[in-house]
Structure 1
Amino acid sequence: MPLSLLKYGFSKDYPVTGDIPATPELRPSYDVVIIGGGGHGLASAHYLSKYHGITSIAVLEKGYLAGGNTARNTTTIRSNYITPEGVAFYKEGVSLFQGLSQELDFNVMFSQRGQLTLAHSEATLRSFHLRAEIGKHMGTRTEVVDARGVEEIVPQLNMDRGGALEILGGLWHADGGTARHDAVAWGFAAQASRRGAEIHQRTEVQSVEVAGDRVQAVVTNRGRIACGAVLIAAGGMNYDVALMAGIELPIRCYPLQAMVTQPLKPWLDTLVSSVSLHTYLVQSSRGEIVIGGGSDPYQLYSTRSTLDMKEHLAAGAVHLFPFLQGVKVLRQWAGITDMTPDYSPIMGASPLANLWLDCGWGTWGFKATAVAGKRMAETIAKGRVPDVLKPFALERFETFRLLNEMGATAASH
């Protein structure tokens, strides 16, 4: 058997091809140009090509495939938000992740093991009751548990009884889970490529040509591309790309850091987060403890990690699980979060007729990868915004119909 495998591997007729073709030459024009080769852009290309028959698509990525925030997140998937509009949107996202491996014929390693958010004060518990009732009303599995319930879900936790950070209860979200971020991106990329969509890595957008109320072309470091429609899904660079088209978005960008420890034997079955400690933890399929927290307190376009954040995350993790003291940190990284004033994304139409927005994702972009791709593809193909996206319109900042999701993240900002 080993000899047969060696012969197969070294054969000139080796039949296996790459999932994603090499970067082709740019064509003069495309029906749809997607700026951003991360999860959202690739998902949009997949849904456009599979369900709407649009295959003349160019996905432009200035770096490497999914090398921005898609490669720099902590893989959390959930729908326990505050507003009914937010819960409805992310609930659809969770549902899509449940069948995503079948959709993409690619194992995205989705693991639905629940998320537990800890309450260290009565005020936090009251806010959890509100979120639980909204979640139940919208059909999600979200409930408040007391201190005993917390211990039953995660018995290893330090309850800190009588201390300043005593755990009084928690918000248990049984729908929460994780998926492998690079598998999600590659799955969408492979499917879109098979249907004719082109993925152009190392292709940086340098300017956007606008005539009247339409985008005429996108100019890149590899040439000019005329386009029928444009989607901006560039993660932390959304503000800058939109500004090329003369649109100033209500976005400010902050670094968001995380880190992982050395692999440990499996012991943490759920996602655990503490708003008061600005810390959350989840164990990966490889045994690493992924530790994340809040955004840095200053605006910056940087993916460098810092010692003070490493110390903060380590202190929070050790407080919750004291036996982690002495465990080695393997990696630390940062992404760029594009935050809006109401902590909700901007999706749908722009002031230009053929320019569409998938922006303002802050710290919640990965969990929305599938649903944002599906719904933005529908928007582009039909030329109108579906009902589930209408609350996230850019115009809400003019009409003051905001969707306040502050405090709905796994760690406060």
Structure 2
Amino acid sequence: MPFNLLKYGLSSEYPVEVDLPPPTELKPSYDVVIIGGGGHGLAIAYYLSKYHGITNVAVLEKSYLGGGNTARNTAVIRSNYLTSEGVRFYAESVKMFQNLSNEFDFNIMYSERGQLTLAHTDATVRAFRQRAEVNKHFGGRTEMIDRQQIRELVPSLNLDPGHLPVLAGLWHIDGATARHDAVAWGYAKQAAKRGVEIHQLTEVQDLVIENGRITAVKTNRGTVKCGCAVQAIAGASSLMLAKAGIRAPIHTYPLQAMVTQPFKPFLDPLVSSSALHCYVQQTSRGEIVFGGGSDPYPLYNTRSTLDLKESLLAHAIEMFPFMANAKLMRQWAGITDMTPDYSPIMGLSPVQNYYLDAGWGTWGFKSTPICGKTMAELVASGGKVPELIKPFALDRFSTFQQVNEMGATAASH
């Protein structure tokens, strides 16, 4: 990366490399159609083309690339989950994130900063000890730290909010952030180089299913035949599933976040509190990002609300009292598809050759690389589910084999 920047800067012609080719007409058919041009859909296309030689692929995005939840999340990367299945999966994703800039030759602004999760009760301390051991067992760098270590790590943190003093913390050294739109564009650029077609402003309006098998997708630009299709959308997973005649236990809620004016750097780790239902981080531009729980009612809307702003900021100020004087610059929302066990749905569907990447709730961005890789393996094999994603099958809800990640973060749980 530094060598390429130097070569570019010293060139007399300043060559400009186009990230994506110009738009083209849809072909009559493709081997693979991927519904959704966010991080997940683009990652699946990239890994299909790079590792499996499948390039007759169309990524269909109803808006612009990465314009859904990929553009609206707060870009946290971590693997300190509750279950062995979850930790194994997300730990692989963290490892892949660490090398993405080099793999893409495209800077995703990956920054390993660590995540600190606060424990305010004895029960939480016991639960954190278990989480730390599970993480260590599967290669994650997670440990318990005491109040003095927390004070040294985050000097500006209030350790004694009125009714919830901090007793200990779960320190996840692997916690990081990356630029979300850069991740999407890195995958898009490299997939397009290998022949994948990426079609923006192309909305899938219906699915053509014959004899229990998907054969085509109907879009606002015409009908396209396909050998198989992958659903990789966020915020409207259940609506697309309904077009395929598939029932899934997914409920959709808005999830809001906000950001302040920029400050000089003072907060390197990501700090969250499940009891206060709030997480706080400082961006590379100095802005302070706040996030917390989702709205308590289902809704397909990305509007902001005053009541969420008031409750979330009240909790953030308990953690960092001096922020009471900070000026808020922006507030926004995404749409989260929540499952009963707070884990995603990946793998096969009741419709033959229609593969699912859905129900990601608040954790879709951090799984982008490993989800793309494993889903590409699934598609390329013709339906052989990789071991890493077998626990996340849709039928786990009918066999009562849920992967319960409730309470694994300060957001939405």
Q: What's the TM-score bracket when you normalise by the shorter of the two chains?
A: over 0.9
Deviations 1:217-267 (A, max 9, x none): 000000000001100001111111111111111100000000111111011
Structure 2 counterpart of 1:67: 67
- CA distance in 2: counterparts of 1:131 and 1:381, whole angstroms: 34
Structure 2 counterpart of 1:344: 343
- Are positions 1:130 and 2:130 aligned together? yes
Preserved contact between residue 79 and residue 91 of structure 2 (Cα < 8 Å)? yes
Structure 2 counterpart of 1:265: 264
Structure 2 counterpart of 1:93: 93
Give the aligned CA root-mean-square deviation in angstroms: 1.4
Structure 2 counterpart of 1:24: 24
Aligned residue identity for 1:260: V
Preserved contact between residue 38 and residue 70 of structure 2 (Cα < 8 Å)? yes
- CA distance in 2: counterparts of 1:193 and 1:364, whole angstroms: 26
Aligned residue identity for 2:141: R
Aligned residue identity for 2:116: L
Aligned residue identity for 1:27: K
Deviations 1:96-149 (A, max 9, x none): 001111111111011111000001111111111111111111121111112112
- CA distance in 2: counterparts of 1:245 and 1:204, whole angstroms: 15
Preserved contact between residue 362 and residue 412 of structure 2 (Cα < 8 Å)? no
Structure 2 counterpart of 1:81: 81
Deviations 1:149-178 (A, max 9, x none): 2112111100117x3111111111001110
- Are positions 1:207 and 2:176 aligned together? no
Deviations 1:54-100 (A, max 9, x none): 11111111111110000000000000000000000000000000111
Deviations 1:255-282 (A, max 9, x none): 0000111111011010000111111011
- Are positions 1:362 and 2:361 aligned together? yes
State TM-score, norm by structure 2.
0.95
4+ long deviations beyond 3 Å: none
Structure 2 counterpart of 1:400: 400
Q: Which moved more, 1:136-145 or 1:218-227?
A: 136-145
- CA distance in 2: counterparts of 1:131 and 1:175, whole angstroms: 14
The alpha carbon displacement at 1:313 in A equals: 2.1
Within 5 A, what are the aligned runs for 1:145-294? 145-160=145-160, 163-294=162-293
Deviations 1:379-404 (A, max 9, x none): 10012111001000111011101100
The alpha carbon displacement at 1:410 in A equals: 3.0
Within 5 A, what are the aligned runs for 1:288-303? 288-303=287-302
Identity of aligned residues (%): 64
The alpha carbon displacement at 1:310 in A equals: 1.3
Preserved contact between residue 362 and residue 411 of structure 2 (Cα < 8 Å)? no
The alpha carbon displacement at 1:39 in A equals: 0.4
- CA distance in 1: counterparts of 2:149 and 2:243, whole angstroms: 52
Structure 1 counterpart of 2:142: 142
Preserved contact between residue 38 and residue 68 of structure 2 (Cα < 8 Å)? yes
- CA distance in 1: counterparts of 2:145 and 2:408, whole angstroms: 17
Q: Residues 33 and 412 of structure 1: is their aligned pair in 2 closer, same or farther, counting only changes over 3 Å? A: closer
- CA distance in 2: counterparts of 1:208 and 1:409, whole angstroms: 35
- CA distance in 1: counterparts of 2:124 and 2:155, whole angstroms: 21
Preserved contact between residue 274 and residue 411 of structure 1 (Cα < 8 Å)? no
Aligned residue identity for 1:93: S
| Stretches of structure 2 lacking an aligned partner (at least 5 in a row) | 1-8
Q: Which moved more, 1:268-277 or 1:125-134?
A: 125-134
Number of equivalenced pairs? 403
- CA distance in 2: counterparts of 1:402 and 1:16, whole angstroms: 49
SS in 2 for 1:391: helix
Aligned residue identity for 1:62: K
Preserved contact between residue 61 and residue 201 of structure 1 (Cα < 8 Å)? yes
Structure 1 counterpart of 2:314: 315
- CA distance in 2: counterparts of 1:18 and 1:277, whole angstroms: 45
The alpha carbon displacement at 1:213 in A equals: 2.1
Preserved contact between residue 208 and residue 217 of structure 1 (Cα < 8 Å)? yes
- CA distance in 2: counterparts of 1:79 and 1:367, whole angstroms: 8
The alpha carbon displacement at 1:22 in A equals: 2.5
Preserved contact between residue 213 and residue 352 of structure 2 (Cα < 8 Å)? yes
Deviations 1:8-47 (A, max 9, x none): 78xxxx7424201232110000010000000000111111
Q: Residues 305 and 313 of structure 1: is their aligned pair in 2 closer, same or farther, counting only changes over 3 Å? A: same
- CA distance in 1: counterparts of 2:131 and 2:394, whole angstroms: 25
- CA distance in 2: counterparts of 1:40 and 1:34, whole angstroms: 10
The alpha carbon displacement at 1:412 in A equals: 4.8
- CA distance in 1: counterparts of 2:241 and 2:130, whole angstroms: 36
Preserved contact between residue 363 and residue 409 of structure 1 (Cα < 8 Å)? no
SS in 2 for 1:215: strand
| Stretches of structure 1 lacking an aligned partner (at least 5 in a row) | none
- CA distance in 1: counterparts of 2:247 and 2:12, whole angstroms: 55
Structure 1 counterpart of 2:44: 44
